[in-house]
Structure 1
């Protein structure tokens, strides 16, 4: 999208128009460039592009027009200079680790993160001689106490999965920068519609595009967003090692971004209603949703986010047996570990998304046997409540 420098387009316009430069065909919709490589007019042109003396596409492992359009659009939504797309959200986190860490470095990660993120840092990143400490997401003093001379990265998921804990992003940025470290935020739950971490001081934003950026459970993908200098390292890593996004998936995500604002608004409105219903239910011990004034992170979320998102977690009385009863009695809510879909999904974190964590780690992270996570979709909220009530009424 070309635009005069004095025009600042709003989010909805950026989500639909940014990044697409029409080809000689004059297409209205973004094309999919399903090609592995690109052809040159002569040997001199090939040499110039391979050497970087001329811009242009070389090989779709690291440059592809459809992927580039997605990257430009996501960066615009985030208010950032650049984005680098990856094959999955976990590939994006690994790209951050491999781009900025080396043997002897130290990482501080919040305890409240996706189970695979814990495994990535503890089992794989640690193999390269990188030390990792996990701390309470909301305790700034704990982050300060964990800082070492070798600390290079603070990694945070906010809101956290699945308990919706809220980080003080600005406070963490100040801690990181005062000690020469980078702050990376996994913003998959909020998307740039609800929260823009770079404006709060974060250096890097990580996404599982598989979630809300797509929004319909169709494709896997991820992204790292930041400034040009930092993203040079991520691009070099992806180019060399190959966890790149496919052109077709990039096109799917482009279509997802076009409706992102509308979907996130609807997800948030329905999730708020569900959280309020569950908060009054006699069979529910606790509801984890930052939109509730009783949530410990409500004030911080209201400060950093424009709404509270579509993920509601809650603990039922009776532990695993009761939780499984609620899940098994649903008739249309999908029992699956994915989230951010137009279709509501439900899962038991202790035995699925966080199932591989040791029992002690689950307890510390608050992943108890009675915990259920619901990704509130775009079905009618009264139908969603009725579907959950079937099991709640039986326990």
Structure 2
């Protein structure tokens, strides 16, 4: 692993723990103005000393030797580059690219890796907007797609065609927290010379490092756990330098660039990533065990529970099981809404991964426009609840759940 010394020169050190990486990974001890924190470089354009300096830059850029220097904000920013270096260090990647949103990162990957006539495989239970983009938008441009059941690797391999260029999956998934056997998926893809992408937003680099398991690219909605405070939107992709370079070219055309102040906020959040995720892992396990034993809860979906269909895979691959717990209460649509309204700690809100606990009833939040029959076909029941746990004290969270469950009538 390369880090920066006080002189700015790289040196090799032994592997460091997740908290040390979250604070120091990818950063230099000597920042401009002797700042401990990388400064916010708030500029949209960059100047040249004189014409000779401009020509030298153009020549260096032509040969790929510009050393990160750019002339316009759509092509890069020092604060954004600091974030990218830290994420690359956390993921054990050669490089990373930051985007304005997680969906900006996902769409850039898909545009860069697919063209008309290509075929992509998705696993079910992927983020609904990713599915919509592939199945509805890309179809208009001649890209074909197949959705396969998660965990069915025979079906996945059977879906491969001569035109298959990409397998896109998510782990853990939303909302049922299914966990893909990434080593097995990567082995199938390698045999067929297909690229793989994993949305690892729910896992974070603390709980899972997909690149170490043979995956080509890992993508995060940095809005969630990486930033961790529900106050900024961002996305990031990490992987081999060659693939990331191609994504930067696509980003320059699409324009989904991250602003420097947003990059600063994600950088600040990342420093406590390992500490926050450790508490959220603890809260997730405690709450899942409580709910699994409660008479007013029909079923709990949490990879840390032996009852979860992917528990064995999660135990083998993951360092922790995350802070999201999905469960079904013993109630109808209205009774589930009463339960959620009775909760006093979580905010009723979409998203996840922040220090504050958030709760949603997917039938009324993410899938409100669908009628009950259509929701049922994709597994979204009226009594389903997704609880994203923050860093509150676990005893308080459990007491709040207990009093709210008592109000289901």
TM bin, normalised by shorter chain, reads over 0.9
Whether contact under 8 Å (2:234, 2:262) holds in the other structure is yes
Report Cα offsets for 1:38-97 as digits up to 9, x if no partner. 111112222332450533132221210000000010001100101010010011110110
Query: In the alignment, is residue 233 of structure 1 matched against residue 240 of structure 2?
Result: no
SS in 1 for 2:75: coil
- Asked if residue 29 in structure 1 is aligned to residue 41 in structure 2, the reply is no
Query: Residue in 2 aligned with 1:49?
Result: 57
Distance 1:147 1:35 in 2: 46
142, 152, 169: which one aligns with 1:139: 152
Matched, 1:119 2:132: yes
Among 293, 299, 303, which residue is 2:306 paired with? Answer: 293
Q: Does 1:249 align with 2:257?
A: no
What is the Cα deviation at residue 350 of structure 1? 2.3
Secondary structure, in 3 states, of the residue corresponding to 1:171? helix
Q: C-alpha displacement at 1:300, in angstroms?
A: 0.3
- Pairwise CA RMSD: 1.6
Identify the residue that residue 206 of structure 1 maps to in structure 2: 219
**Secondary structure at 2:12 match in 1:** coil
Note the 1:77-226 alignment, pairs <5 A: 77-226=90-239
Deviation, 1:358, is 7.1
| Cα distance in 2, alignment partners of residues 25 and 296 from structure 1 | 53
Q: Where does the alignment leave 5 or more consecutive residues of structure 2 unmatched? A: none
2: CA distance between counterparts of 1:117 and 1:374? 21
CA contact (8 A) 2:172 2:202 kept: yes
SS of residue paired to 1:25 = helix
| 1:20 corresponds to | 27
Cα distance between partner residues in 2 of 1:129 and 1:292: 42
Q: Output the CA distance in 2 between the equivalents of 1:187 and 1:362.
A: 25
Greater RCO structure (CA 8 Å; 6+ sep): 1
Q: Quick check: 1:4 aligned with 2:11?
A: yes
Alpha-carbon separation, structure 1, partners of 2:298 and 2:41: 51
Higher alpha-carbon deviation: 101-110 or 7-16: 7-16
Contact kept in structure 1, 2:329 and 2:336, CA below 8 Å: yes
Shift of residue 28 of structure 1?
1.4
Verify the 8 A CA contact 1:19 1:68 in the aligned structure 2.
no
Q: d(CA) in 1 for partners of 2:328 and 2:394? A: 20
Q: Report the CA distance shift for 1:203/1:93 in structure 2 as closer, same or farther (over 3 A).
A: same
SS state at 1:40 partner: coil
Give deviations 1:92-119, integer Å, cap 9, x for gaps: 1101100000000011111111221111
1:24/1:207 CA distance change after superposition, 3 Å = closer
**CA shift at 1:360, angstroms?**
6.1
TM-score scaled by structure 2? 0.93
Q: Do residues 372 (structure 1) and 385 (structure 2) align?
A: yes
Question: How many equivalent residue pairs?
Answer: 395
Q: Is the 8 A contact 2:362 2:384 kept in 1?
A: yes
Aligned pair 1:281/2:294, yes or no? yes
Give the TM-score of the pair, scaled to structure 1: 0.96
Q: Tell me by how many angstroms 1:126 deviates.
A: 1.7
Give, in whole Å, the separation in 2 of the partners of 1:333 and 1:236.
41
Structure-2 change in CA distance of 1:357 and 1:37 (3 Å) = farther
> How far is 1:219 from its partner?
0.3
CA contact (8 A) 2:342 2:407 kept: no
Give the secondary structure class of the aligned counterpart of 2:376: helix
**Alpha-carbon distance between aligned partners in 1 of 2:341 and 2:301, rounded to the nearest angstrom:** 21
Task: Say if 2:167 and 2:196, in contact at 8 Å, map to a contact too.
Answer: yes
